[in-house]
Structure 1
Amino acid sequence: MTDCGCEKATRDLEEYLRDEVCKTQHADIREHLENCPACREEALVATTLTDAVARACKETAPEQLRDQVLAKLRAVQAQHDLA
């Protein structure tokens, strides 16, 4: 294995984190991340952000909030229909 360097590691980071690179590329990027604190930090930020977005997508709004939003949308739509 050879260190792929910062440019390749950061360019392919998202694909690496989603396991969308070939085994050779995966090993090279993993090796680079193990030896490069800056790229490892960028990978941690990307992973943390991805996890936060995934958690947020699983949450549902409280029923009262959903009702308020739907009521407001209906009111705006009704005003638009009158215009």
Structure 2
Amino acid sequence: MTDCGCDKAKAELVEYLHNELARDDASDIREHMAGCADCSSEFHVNVVMTETVQRACRETAPEELRVQVLARLRDLQASHG
């Protein structure tokens, strides 16, 4: 494989993270990141952000907050209807 360069690696980091690249392209990016601290660091930031969003999507709001939000939405709908 050949070094794909920072521009290509950074442009395809999200696809790489989600295993959406062809095997050769993924291999090029993996090889590039092994020797490039900047791209490797950017990839790590993407991993942390993805994991944080995934965790947040699994959490549920407290029932009291849900009730308050729904009541406020009903109030807003009533005042604009």
TM-score (norm 2): 0.97
1:51 aligns with 2:51: yes
What runs of 5+ residues in structure 2 fail to find an aligned partner?
none
**What whole-Å deviation, never above 9, does each CA across 1:10-41 have from its counterpart, x for those lacking one?**
01111111111111011110000111000000
Aligned length: 81
Aligned to 1:34: 34
Q: How far apart are the structure 2 equivalents of 1:50 and 1:36?
A: 21
Aligned to 1:5: 5
Note the C-alpha offset of 1:2.
Answer: 1.2
What runs of 5+ residues in structure 1 fail to find an aligned partner?
none
Aligned to 1:80: 80
Within 5 A, what are the aligned runs for 1:61-72? 61-72=61-72
Root-mean-square deviation over aligned CA pairs: 0.6
TM-score (norm 1): 0.95
Note the C-alpha offset of 1:58.
Answer: 0.9
Q: Percent identity?
A: 53
